[in-house]
Structure 1
Amino acid sequence: MLKHRSSKDVQDTHDLVMHTYYSDDASSRVHHLGLHKALCVLMGWNFSKAPDHSKAYQNLPAEVAAVNQDQLIIWPPHVIVHNTSTGKGKEGRMEGFGNKRMDNRVRELGLTGGKPKSLYGRDGGHLGITLFKFAGDDSGIRDAMRMAEYFEKTNRGRKSWARVQPPIPSKDDEKHHSLVEVDGRTGEKKRILYGYLATITDLDKVDSETKKKTTIESLREFTGSK
């Protein structure tokens, strides 16, 4: 076994992985191993292979790394919904759907259980993102997955959003058939919503308050026993 490294010796991510895996502090062993796994998943490395100085554990197929990352979710569960801005207002700031309007939109889709929170930037402009927070229990994860599965099955999930996402939200979005659709009955233009279950890779998309009030949990722990 490799010699335990002090936290003072940590200079990069590899050193941190080594420290968390080989820590001999019995009182925090479980927490260290949890951090080791989270770091490896976040970096796309193999957490099941003992780390060493050859760094062989860093070799993991991209598709396997992606699956591992998808399994570490923000808890309580959240669904991130995109394309909720409506263009610039009179003052030049981006405007978008508020919480009540987003709640009504998802109810129209037959989806319930989540509490919406529209996100705004430092300038007060709408970011085009709404978070739906679900209860931190079995019913909450079921409702969150149901919403995420709805978007995925209608080709409006994570990968679809990555393909159609505009560099900067603008009024011109209305000309993009993948972002705005016209109601055949009323002629009303409607934003096409895209969404997916929030994972560890989405921490940069959520607001600071959400980061403080959430943890990272393994989706397998909740779905594996069902």
Structure 2
Amino acid sequence: MDTRRLVTHAYMSHKAGLRAEHLGLHKAICVLLGWSTVVPDETITWAPQILPKSDALAQKEDLIIWPPVIIIHNISFWDNDPEKWKVVTVDALEAFIRGKGLIKGRIKVCLGKPADLSIMVVKFLGIFTGLGDAEKLHKFFMECKRGRVEFELATSNNGTVSINGETGIEGGKLEENILYGYLGVSEDLDKVDFTSRNTSLIKSKMEILDLANAPVKPEET
């Protein structure tokens, strides 16, 4: 069965007890392929609507790993020359993050996958404040030009690491040069540790924020 037929089947199927699972599959595949997940209620047949790149990215970034995590890459490990690898330990990463004064709540830092210090995972509590702390760290890396987009650019040179358009890693604080990070989304599940992969959920960040900002209903008397 090709992808389009599978997505069509997932949307059109009304098998008793499996409707929610089919709609979830439909949405997941559409997000992965950059297709719109919005389908009018009166639609009888379904056809993919390809989204603009910016909209497709926003759709992907809305489906976050929950409880929230920040994926941290040590890009020195992407260099083909092992002598250029620079080790940042889990403890050093946590000290670096806390030293920025961005985190107020509890976090746990662990190895990602592969467990060779090339990827580390910062875990936050599955509450609104946990998401807020994760967002602050995500924003920090973005503002430092070391977010998801910059990571992909920096590691796209066939084994020669490029930072801010320059080859090599020289000068400045080690962590400031080689650590790139971003909020974990559904497609990042293959980068997290085994426990997180098997216990985490995928949730809509927009829905979580809407719930956090919803007015509190007065208690009935």
Is the Cα–Cα contact under 8 Å of residues 85 and 129 in structure 1 kept in the other structure?
A: no
- Matched with 2:67 is 76
- Matched with 1:111 is 102
- Matched with 1:216 is 202
The structure-2 alpha-carbon separation of the partners of 1:156 and 1:25, relative to structure 1 and needing over 3 Å to count, comes to: same
For residues 76 and 110 of structure 2, the distance between their equivalents in structure 1, rounded to whole angstroms, comes to: 13
Give me the CA root mean square deviation.
3.1
Shift of 1:132: 0.6
- Matched with 1:206 is 192
Shift of 1:56: 3.6
Decide which moves more: 79-88 or 192-201.
79-88
Shift of 1:99: 1.8
For residues 182 and 159 of structure 1, the distance between their equivalents in structure 2, rounded to whole angstroms, comes to: 22
Instruction: Provide TM-score, normalisation by structure 2.
Output: 0.76
1:157 aligns with 2:186: no
The structure-2 alpha-carbon separation of the partners of 1:95 and 1:120, relative to structure 1 and needing over 3 Å to count, comes to: farther
2:183 to 174, 197, 201: 197
Shift of 1:15: 2.3
The structure-2 alpha-carbon separation of the partners of 1:104 and 1:177, relative to structure 1 and needing over 3 Å to count, comes to: farther
The structure-2 alpha-carbon separation of the partners of 1:213 and 1:181, relative to structure 1 and needing over 3 Å to count, comes to: farther
Decide which moves more: 16-25 or 189-198.
189-198
- Matched with 2:48 is 57
- Higher strand share goes to which structure? 1
Deviations 1:62-90 (A, max 9, x none): 221111111111111111112265799xx
Is the Cα–Cα contact under 8 Å of residues 87 and 169 in structure 1 kept in the other structure?
A: yes
For residues 107 and 80 of structure 1, the distance between their equivalents in structure 2, rounded to whole angstroms, comes to: 16
Is the Cα–Cα contact under 8 Å of residues 44 and 66 in structure 1 kept in the other structure?
A: yes
Size of the aligned set, in residue pairs, is 201
For residues 207 and 180 of structure 1, the distance between their equivalents in structure 2, rounded to whole angstroms, comes to: 30
For residues 182 and 189 of structure 2, the distance between their equivalents in structure 1, rounded to whole angstroms, comes to: 13
For residues 151 and 204 of structure 2, the distance between their equivalents in structure 1, rounded to whole angstroms, comes to: 24
The structure-2 alpha-carbon separation of the partners of 1:182 and 1:103, relative to structure 1 and needing over 3 Å to count, comes to: same
**Percent identity among equivalent residues?**
32
Instruction: Provide TM-score, normalisation by structure 1.
Output: 0.74
1:44 to 34, 49, 61: 34
- Matched with 1:186 is none
Is the Cα–Cα contact under 8 Å of residues 113 and 190 in structure 2 kept in the other structure?
A: no
What is the identity, as a one-letter code, of the residue corresponding to 2:27? K
For residues 169 and 86 of structure 2, the distance between their equivalents in structure 1, rounded to whole angstroms, comes to: 16
Is the Cα–Cα contact under 8 Å of residues 77 and 136 in structure 1 kept in the other structure?
A: yes
Deviations 1:133-174 (A, max 9, x none): 11111111111111101111222211122222364488x99x
- Matched with 2:216 is none
Shift of 1:95: 6.8
What is the identity, as a one-letter code, of the residue corresponding to 2:201? T
What is the identity, as a one-letter code, of the residue corresponding to 1:75? W
The structure-2 alpha-carbon separation of the partners of 1:21 and 1:205, relative to structure 1 and needing over 3 Å to count, comes to: same
